[in-house]
Amino acid sequence: MRVLGVDPGLTRCGVGVVEGVAGRPLTMRGVGVVRTPADAELGHRLVAIEQGIESWLDEHRPEFVAVERVFSQHNVRTVMGTAQASAVAMLCASRRGIPVALHTPSEVKAAVTGSGRAEKAQVGVMVTRLLRLDAPPRPADAADALALAICHIWRAPAQNRLQQAQAQAHAQARALRAQSATKGRTA
């Protein structure tokens, strides 16, 4: 499985590609940051992020895109910028038919470090170990993007089984309702 992780942000949007399967060593295929100038007009910044994400999608051809789920912060301006960058990443992937998964920061931290309250430095250290890198990716946004991809690779099998079980349960419930409705009409 090849996953593009996206740590959304207007000034620095972390991107990282990881390939592998749960239970086996993972391989980093690329890591970087899409940057936009803080003083540029919002529309121009979003276009620059789109172009950067599209370039990563063209180059790495991921099967999935994992994006950090935007969570509420005290700074509304920061949340808005993060949400806008997140939407651009989701749009780029969806336009190509690539499935998108959203993971919360605590899910990612827990998957990579074992603690949902881990500090950024701990995430960087674990990403370095898990991907057998010489040094933590810089800036932290790049390491966070790799952590998102790792989290998705590790969580996807369980999530798929859960979705299949839910779909099966819904199908069984529909069949029981249909059976019950048929009995009601014949009585």
Backbone torsions φ then ψ of 65, nearest 5 degrees: -125, 125
Q: Which tokens is 95 given?
A: 């336009």
Amino acid at 143: A
3-state helix, strand, coil in the chain (%, to 5): 55, 15, 25
Active site residue 58: no
**Torsion sign (Cα): 126, 129, 133, 136:** positive
68 carries an active-site annotation: yes
- The one catalytic residue among 39, 50, 59, 68: 68
Find the catalytic residue in 58, 63, 119, 141: 141
Give yes or no: 134 in active site. Answer: no
Q: Which long-range contacts (CB under 8 A, 24 or more apart) does 121-129 make?
A: 123/147
Between the two ends of the chain, the Cα-to-Cα distance in Å is: 53
Known catalytic residues are: 7, 68, 141
